[in-house]
Amino acid sequence: MESSQRRKSGLNLPAGMNETSLRLETSSPSSPCSSSFRSISISSPRMISSLSSPSSSKSTICSDRFIPCRSSSRLHTFGLMEKESPAKEGGNEAYCRILKSELFGSDFGSCFSPAGQGSPMSPNKNMLRFKTEHSGPNSPYSPSILGHDSGFSSEASTPPKPPRKVPKTPHKVLDAPSLQDDFYLNLVDWSSQNVLAVGLGTCVYLWTASNSKVTKLCDLGPNDSVCAVQWTREGSYISIGTNLGQVQVWDGTQCKKVRTMGGHQTRTGVLAWNSRILSSGSRDRNILQHDLRVSSDYVSKLVGHKSEVCGLKWSHDDRELASGGNDNQLLVWNQHSQQPILKLTEHTAAVKAIAWSPHQSNLLASGGGTADRCIRFWNTTNGHQLNNIDTGSQVCNLSWSKNVNEIVSTHGYSQNQIMVWKYPSMAKVATLTGHSFRVLYLAMSPDGQTIVTGAGDETLRFWNVFPSVKTPAPVKDTGLWSLGRTYIR
């Protein structure tokens, strides 16, 4: 009869215990405790002995334990550690599992091992042990913020810096009539003396940024046109490459021609100065090295490209010259060698965009044309490719910021955008749009904060993309520093 009652109740109760021995009472509304709490009353002395000491034989009412609402608690993160009762075995374990499941929920009951597999938990002096909980993606302490370490680091204790805001529109737009839409030309350059040079048709114009004054430097006449302009590093002289293959040098302050040098068979589309040498690249596939201190037109010829030379940049220490061509090659030349020391052939389109990092020696960036669309980074010491990223558009120009470790790229087909990247993560800082044609020309202001872009839409647009350089804190002189120590340069 007793077993049939146990089957009807649905509970597997130990022998000697009936259904009325265990009852759950809900507190009345007048009780200080809300309905989200429950109290358990156990009237059987036999059951009390299984939860308390074995010597206890008196009936006890356990009504002082209140369990919070399960929906607002995280009881599954705790493990209840309990010593095995020496008085009761067998049915006692089953009853404890049922009781804990009723009190704490089914998830809590699953934390204990099934009967017959040893003790539910190993004995431990601590009753509660907090288990490590994996934070969700919305947690303020999620791994995406703190990293993969379980502990807190000094960097994680500070909130991440908000991304730098870059204005999405140009702060100035200039009309540039007759600015050619030709990928292989280089018609814009900004001097260290804050003067912008632009080649428009057969003429070169100078725009002084401080007062917006425009000066016409020269006119090559109806039989020639401007293909490249490049200031010296000091900003006083400017070189001009022409469609007839000449290289002219002008005094930018006096608007006077200093010299004309020949040597190329066809147009000179790219120029690059180091401290004393002017390099010129041409459609005739050659690179000529000009030295204004000697009377000859050029002092050496570098032969290596199989098509038009359209990219040319000297490293900041004047030791290496990088050249890009329409043959998809990127070559690196030593200042003393007549043969390239590196031949980099990973690009699959013309290489016009070239930039040396001012922050790390022997770090070179290059960009490929429409069929390539990639910016690649090279270690010129060993020729290894460090990284590459597909930009999705033809890469026309690259320029490294001298104020921060970021690089700006301009693009043609098919987005015609300007993109600012953080190096080395290559995370996008900003994407700027406004030109309706390929952004073929790029130059940076002497303070490193502003860039100017030119396109076949015959406009020049000025963008504030980089922060100002951080001014180092002044060092106070001491007696040690004032002992007459000087620097030659």
pLDDT at 50: 40
Residues 236-272: tens digit of each pLDDT: 999 999 999 999 999 999 999 999 999 999 999 999 9
In single-letter form, the type of residue at position 188 comes to V
How would you label 300-312 residue by residue, b for 16+ Cβ within 10 Å and e otherwise? Answer: eebebbeebbbbb
Domain parsing of the chain, residue ranges: 172-464
Higher pLDDT pick, 277 / 32: 277
CATH code at 172-464: 2.130.10.10
Taking phi over 0 as left and psi of -120 to 50 as alpha, with beta for the rest, 428 belongs to beta
> What average pLDDT does this structure show over 14-18?
57
Q: What is the mean pLDDT of the chain?
A: 78
Residue 148: what pLDDT?
40
Q: Which amino acid is at 303?
A: V
**81 pLDDT band (50/70/90 cuts)?**
very low
Which segment of 15-19, 47-51, 314-318 scores lowest on mean pLDDT?
Answer: 47-51
Contact indicator for 396, 412 with CB cutoff of 8 Å: yes
CA distances from 202 to 53, 221, 327 (A): 105, 6, 28
Q: What is the pLDDT of residue 336?
A: 83
pLDDT at residue 455, rounded to an integer: 97
**Model confidence over 200-209: pLDDT tens digits?**
999 999 999 9
pLDDT tens column, 425-463: 999 999 999 999 999 999 999 999 999 999 999 999 999
Q: Please tell me the least confidently modeled range out of 101-105, 178-182, 358-362, 466-470.
A: 101-105
Is the pLDDT confidence value at 19 over 70?
no
Predicted TM-score (pTM) of the model is 0.66
Contact status, residue 356 vs residue 399, Cβ threshold 8 Å: no
- 281-336, pLDDT tens digit by residue? 999 999 999 999 999 999 999 999 999 999 999 999 999 999 999 999 999 999 88
Nearest residue to 323 via CA among 288, 375, 374, 297:
288
What's the pLDDT at 381?
95
Condensed to tens digits (0 to 9), the pLDDT of residues 107-156 reads: 554 544 444 444 444 444 444 444 444 444 444 444 433 334 434 344 44
Judged against a pLDDT cut of 60, whether residue 373 lies above it is answered with: yes
Q: Is the pLDDT of residue 63 over 80?
A: no
Work out whether the CA dihedral 76, 81, 87, 89 comes out positive or negative. positive
Q: Report the pLDDT value the prediction gives residue 184, as an integer from 0 to 100.
A: 97
Q: What percent of the chain has pLDDT over 90?
A: 60
Separation between Cα atoms, residue 253 and residue 255, nearest integer Å: 6
Q: Are 330 and 324 in contact (CB under 8 A)?
A: yes
Per-residue model confidence as pLDDT tens digits over 324-372: 999 999 999 998 888 999 999 999 999 999 999 999 999 999 999 999 9
Q: Do 112 and 120 form a contact (C-beta atoms < 8 A)?
A: yes
What pLDDT was estimated at residue 104? 73
358 in Cβ contact with 404 (< 8 Å):
no
Q: What is the DSSP string of 11-56?
A: --PPTT--GGGEEEEEPPTTSSS-TT-EEEEE--HHHHHHHS-TT-
HSE (CB half, 13 Å, CA atoms) of 252?
28
